[in-house]
Amino acid sequence: MPPKIENSIGENQSPLPDKHPKVRYGRIGVLLLNLGTPDGTDYWSMRRYLKEFLSDERVIEEPRWKWWPILNLIILTVRPGRKGRDYATIWNNELNEGPLKTISRNQAEKLAKRLAAHPNVVVDWAMRYANPTTESRIEALLAQGCDRILLLPLYPQYAAATTATAADQAFRALMKLRRQPAVRVAPSYHDDPAYIASLAASMKTSLGKLDFEPERIIATFHGMPEKYFEKGDPYHCHCQKTSRLLREALGWPEERWLTTFQSRFGNDPWLQPYTDKTVERLANEGIKRLALVAPGFSADCLETLEELDGENRHIFEGAGGEKFAYLPALNDSEEGVDVIEAVVRRELSGWL
């Protein structure tokens, strides 16, 4: 359904002047938001991405006078090269982009097909850091006549450093507009039955493909500094609830299921137990068969493909483990799109 175009002020009134700007309206935009990925694996692409990411005051809650010299004089000098090499190990060379970008695009395209019965709905996707930018995709939705927009941060568990900063970026774009659309932000869905059911179904399929039965399963979530939790961030509680509900849905014994946190950065204590330390401990204790799943990631990316399936595999096998598996994220699978569709349909209630 094409967008309507305002060209009169009422059925029984005179048309607007010829030079009055035409305004498209009548469509609903759905914007999927994820973290971001560098534009390339070279030093300068990585530096631009890391600078934008690590300059976000929601991500690094340190005084600017303290953090600025550390970031610009140390981290952005040495880290881009190393992280670029890490990204190169998972890069989608065919499309010359990170897997997060490939998967996010596929998620949006598949969701659009699911919503095809509603031709006034336009689905798009954006990244909080790097490209495509949130502002550019909001502008694209407005150009197509979307006067109502649903923002869906693809973070099942709420955190200020992910969900909130994605919303912040969208609001910054909206602040520049004279004619703002009506906006909704989808809440976290860490305990949504559709999300838990899809995770359980996906895990059952992945476990069924293994040639071994894990002695332990680790549900690993991206970490955050403990002080963020102490300030009131609900992320830790959301992660623990997701892990418990998922274990119960699978009927997995509590003593064989662990919940851990990964990807710590800096010297401050982060949420514990740490994933890598737990993997090493289990191997040292004689566990030979281990599986990891990362329920907090809606799409596989550096932290899952390189860190979990790479670094943690090496840690486990180096400490005596024999069988290791990383179970894929929901990604753009049918189960993954089921979750996104369920959340979108619920949050569009009253608009469709």
Confidence of residue 6 (pLDDT cuts 50, 70, 90): low
Q: Give residue 312's domain range.
A: 193-327
Domain shared by 285 and 320, yes or no: yes
Domain shared by 263 and 185, yes or no: no
Euclidean distance between the first and the last CA atom of the chain, given in angstroms as a whole number: 13
Q: CB–CB of 195/339 below 8 Å?
A: yes
On the question of pLDDT at 11 being above 50, the answer is no
Residue 2 lies in a domain: no
Residue 308 tokens read as: 């979990």
Domain shared by 244 and 297, yes or no: yes
Comparing 9-13, 26-30, 279-283, the range with the smallest average pLDDT is 9-13
On the question of pLDDT at 169 being above 70, the answer is yes
Residue 352 lies in a domain: no
Domain shared by 108 and 148, yes or no: yes
347 to 164, 287, 304: CA distances (angstroms): 18, 44, 29
pTM of the model: 0.93
Q: What integer is the mean pLDDT of 255-282?
A: 96
pLDDT at residue 323, as a whole number: 98
pLDDT at residue 24, as a whole number: 79
How many residues in the chain?
Answer: 352
Alpha-carbon radius of gyration of the chain: 22
Domain shared by 129 and 205, yes or no: no
Ordered strands of the 289-293 beta sheet: 257-262, 216-222, 289-293, 323-327
Domain shared by 182 and 40, yes or no: yes
pLDDT in tens, 186-203: 999 999 999 999 999 999
Domain shared by 161 and 219, yes or no: no
Report DSSP letters for 254-311, one per residue: GGGEEEEEE---SSS-BSSSBHHHHHHHHHHTT--EEEEE-TT-SS--IIIIIIIIII
pLDDT at residue 2, as a whole number: 67
pLDDT in tens, 309-338: 999 999 999 999 999 999 999 999 999 999
- H helix or E strand, kind and range, residue 146: strand 146-153
Residue 307 lies in a domain: yes
Residue 5 lies in a domain: no
Q: Which residue has the tokens 């990411």?
A: 53
Q: How would you classify residue 69: left for phi > 0, otherwise alpha for psi between -120 and 50, otherwise beta?
A: alpha
Confidence of residue 17 (pLDDT cuts 50, 70, 90): confident
Confidence of residue 286 (pLDDT cuts 50, 70, 90): very high
Q: What is the dihedral of CA 193, 194, 198, 200, to 10 degrees?
A: 10
Domain shared by 147 and 60, yes or no: yes
Residue 106 lies in a domain: yes
- Residue 3: cis peptide before it, omega within 30 degrees of 0: no
The 8-class DSSP code of residue 181 comes to: P
Q: What integer is the mean pLDDT of 82-109?
A: 97
Q: What integer is the mean pLDDT of 2-23?
A: 61
Domain shared by 200 and 312, yes or no: yes
pLDDT at residue 334, as a whole number: 97
Q: What integer is the mean pLDDT of 224-231?
A: 97
Q: What integer is the mean pLDDT of 334-348?
A: 98
Residue 57 lies in a domain: yes
Domain shared by 214 and 120, yes or no: no
pLDDT at residue 10, as a whole number: 42
Residue 15 lies in a domain: no
Residue 206 lies in a domain: yes
* Residue type, position 80, single letter: P
Confidence of residue 22 (pLDDT cuts 50, 70, 90): confident
Domain shared by 241 and 266, yes or no: yes
Q: What integer is the mean pLDDT of 254-282?
A: 96
pLDDT at residue 13, as a whole number: 53
- H helix or E strand, kind and range, residue 33: strand 27-37
CATH number reported for the structural domain that contains residue 48 in this entry: 3.40.50.1400
pLDDT at residue 9, as a whole number: 40
Confidence of residue 245 (pLDDT cuts 50, 70, 90): very high
Domain shared by 42 and 176, yes or no: yes
pLDDT at residue 21, as a whole number: 73
pLDDT at residue 12, as a whole number: 47
Domain count for the chain: 2
